[in-house]
Amino acid sequence: MWGFYFEQLINSLPYFLKGLWMTAAVSGLSLIFGTIIGFTWGVIRSGRSLILKSLIGAWVDLIRGTPFLVQIFIVFFILPEFGIHLEAIPAAVLALTNLSGCFICEIVSGGIQAVPHGQREAAVASGLSYYQQLYNVILPQAMRIILPPLVGQYVLLIKDSSVISVIGVVDVTRAGWLTVQRIPEGIMVFGLVGILYFLLCYPLIRFSNNLEKRMTVTATRL
């Protein structure tokens, strides 16, 4: 019986690969938009505007403190009550973008704050404006702190994307749920789902580990 189910699973592999492509596409778009938003919010949160810092901080805390499942339900089921109707895929991208943007904001803000205060004082003494200080002095140094956890956040987002299956997006997870109805061997079906997620995340995991080692070696030499 296992041999029969295994043969069926192999025949279903193209379906899983389509789901993998959907996972990669939705995650990739969300990472691009989330990185742009996260860096922008992170810079603002490290700036001088108390109002903007407070507003962004409150939103980031709200998103980080609530389950992603609830957030995607709000985007897909509640926003239509206010006249904002989104199909499943755009809703998934919006929810994941917001989630990643909030976490990346914290990473960027933390990296900027970790730059030694003496570097800021030296930039001020050189007559640089605030934004010149930020882009010429602070951010280049902060990137050494930001990059390793940033790549790690990308891995977490790909895994969090499995939740989008609940609103009908046929990603790898939903492909597994639909397949297990035909092949009642959950360990085989979701074992394959886990392997596909691993294959998608592993290059980023290795890149993050290598990046962290390089940053550590560079910091030690300095």
142-189 pLDDT tens trace:
888 888 889 889 999 999 999 999 999 999 999 999 888 888 777 888
Report which of 6, 16, 53, 7 is spatially closest to residue 179, judged by C-alpha positions.
Answer: 16
What band does 5 get if pLDDT is binned at 50, 70 and 90?
low
Residue position matching structure tokens 């979701």: 190
Provide the 3-class DSSP secondary structure of residue 48.
Answer: coil
Read off the CATH number of the domain in which 9 is found: 1.10.3720.10
Half-sphere exposure of 158 (CA within 13 A, CB side): 25
Instruction: Specify the pLDDT at position 103.
Output: 95
Mean of all residue pLDDT scores within the chain: 87
Angle between helices 186-221 and 2-11 (to 10 degrees): 60
CA separation for the pair 172, 177 (Å, rounded) = 9
CA separation for the pair 217, 190 (Å, rounded) = 39
| Count of structural domains within the chain | 1
Q: Fill in the amino acid letter for 43.
A: V
Determine the structural domain holding residue 111 and report its residue range.
2-221
88-100 pLDDT tens trace:
999 999 999 999 9
